[in-house]
Structure formats: structure tokens, C-alpha cells
Amino acid sequence: MLHLRIIAPTGQSAAVADLLTANPGVTHLAVLPGAGRQPAGDLILCDVVRESADEVLGALEAMGVQSVGGISANDVELTLSAAADRAAREAPGSGADAVVWDEIAAKTGEQTELSATYLVLIMVATMIAGIGVLLDQPILIVGAMVVGPEFGPLAALCVALLRFRPAVVGRSVTALAVGFVAAMLITVLSTWALTAAGLASRDMLLADRPLTDFIWRPDALSWVVGLLAGIAGMLSLTSKKSGSLVGVLISVTTVPAAANVAVAAAYGVWHEAAGSALQLVINIGAIVLAGVLTLAVQQLWWSRVSRSADLRARRR
């Protein structure tokens, strides 16, 4: 359930309240006349079940409330209310499967910023993975996957492609490209530094690495894993299943592939660098394709659920 706080101009307040009252998924509605100061207007509070939230927010935006007032939403962790239970029963679909597009757009839009924190995290993750490659240590590879922040821009790219938002597409691609290039360059430098210090050598890269050589040997299964990870990633994002998202991060070899490119390039092992680069491209392409398709299916499903609910309401 989401808690909505709406500031609507006094002349529009009654229409907004009527819209919310008419939706069966809305409850705990309260109108505080004149409570808004900046911007000025009436403060309207309500709770809405997740399966109705996208419809309600879309209707409010269609009325232009966000242009002259404001709309904010927060998750409600606990609600003890018979009215809320009734709203959940009457709203179409399941709250666990509901997609709130404004929420997803806001969440992923934050991930496209090319910030210092993002660059440091992807650099650190790639350097950890580079050491894991040399030591043939899956534990370090898994740790690097968890630290890597690249799934944020990938998810934002999927949403932007589906919702036709070129500006977000551009920011996402920029964050991914700059992030990976910077991470690989710093990993090349760190590999040279470790070699100069006697802590690493070319022989470590050329030795048998049965636990991590899959990183630079892409095959059909690499594509399959990328597709499955994209599906799971989008579902975990839209359904707020953070535990599932951690599993997605561990299953995708984007950061380790970039690290292997850097380490192999640092030692001039170009065939391995090329294989790792192909692995990276396969994983990114598969994740984006699966993510867009997953979101498209969810959008189609929820549009059908809404139409079915409207037909049932008309028959009554």
C-alpha cells in the first residue's frame, strides 16, 4: 500500500477528492482545506493499494495536479484497518505483482547519474574482480558482483526504452560506458602496480583457472543466463523483492568480464581480452532485451487486468 500526499488548488480539490473516492483501491481519504502553503492549496491524504496506485497516479497527472500542486507517495509498511483490507479485495489484480510506473521511473532515474560514488563503486568492484581472476577465486568474483552498481543504469535503460524517454536512455548509456571504461582503465593500472610490487604476474593469468575461466569463454549459456537475470532483475525491481535483486547481481558476469578484459589487456593476452569483451557485450545485451520484454509483458498484463475490472464495474 502507498500513502499519497496531494496538494491541489482549492478550485480543483473537490474533483481530486471525487476521483479518489470513486476508486475502490483508495481508502483513508482525508481533505484538509487550506493546509497547503507552498504551493498553496488543500492537502489531501489517502492510502491506495499498489494494484490501483498506477491508475490513480495516472489520473491525477492527467488532471494536471503535479503542475499546479504536488503529489508524493511513500510505502506503508503496516496498516491495521478493515477499510484497507476491503480496498485490497476490491482492487483488481495482486499487490505483489503490481507495477507502479512512476515509482519505477523515479527509482531507476536516480541510477543514471554519473556520480563519484557510482564511479568509485564500479572501479573498486572491477579491481576486486581483477584480483579474483588472477587468484582464480570465485569468492572474490561474487563479492565484486555484489559491489558493482551497474544494474541500476541497466534497469533505467530498460524502463526508458519501453517508455520512450530518449534523455534517460542517453544518461543510462553514458553511465554504463563511462563507468566501465574508467573501471577497466583503473584495473589495468592496478594490475601493473601489483605486478611491479611482485604480488601478481602474467603467469597467474596464463595458468589453469578452472573456477573462473568461464568469464572469458562465452557460449550459448552465457546468453541464457543473461536473459534469465534480466527477467529476474526486472521482476525484483517492480515487485520490490530486494533479496531477489541480490541474487541477480551475483548471477551476472558484467563486472568480472570487464575486469578480465582489463587484466588480460594489461598483460597483452589479447585473445582472452577479446573473449571477455564478448562476454560483457552478451550479458549487457541479454539483460536489456529480457528487461524490456519483461516490462512490456507486465504492462500488457496490467492493461488487461484494468480493462477486465472496468467491464465488471460496468456490468454492475
pLDDT in tens, the chain (316 residues): 899 999 999 889 999 999 999 988 999 999 999 998 889 999 999 999 988 888 899 899 999 999 989 999 998 888 888 998 888 888 776 666 677 878 887 777 777 888 899 999 999 999 999 999 999 998 999 888 888 888 889 988 998 998 888 998 999 999 999 999 999 999 999 999 999 999 999 999 999 988 888 888 888 888 998 898 888 888 888 776 555 455 556 556 789 999 999 999 999 999 999 999 999 999 999 999 999 999 999 888 777 766 665 555 555 5
- Indicate if the alpha-carbon torsion angle 78, 84, 85, 91 is positive or negative: negative
Q: Which three cell numbers stand for residue 142?
A: 561474487
287: Cα within 13 Å, side-chain hemisphere = 23
2-8 and 26-37 strand pairing: unpaired
Give the separation between CA 274 and CA 315, rounded to whole angstroms. 62
Nearest CA to 80 out of 51, 47, 32 is that of 47
pLDDT at 242: 53
Beta strand 2-8 with 40-48 is: antiparallel
Q: Look up the pTM and report it.
A: 0.81
C-alpha cell at 55: 491508475
**DSSP-assigned beta bridge partners for residue 26:** 48
- Distance, in Å, from the CA atom of 149 to the CA atom of 122, rounded to the nearest integer, reads 6
In angstroms, rounded to a whole number, what is the distance separating the alpha carbons of residues 261 and 191?
12
What whole-number distance in Å separates Cα of residue 167 and Cα of residue 219? Answer: 34
End-to-end CA distance of the chain: 26
pLDDT in tens, 193-223: 999 999 999 999 999 988 888 888 888 888 9
Q: Are 278 and 214 in contact (CB under 8 A)?
A: no
pLDDT of residue 105: 79
Cβ atoms 41, 8 nearer than 8 A: yes
Cα–Cα distance, 265 to 10 (Å, whole number): 65
Element containing residue 228 per DSSP (H, E): helix 220-238
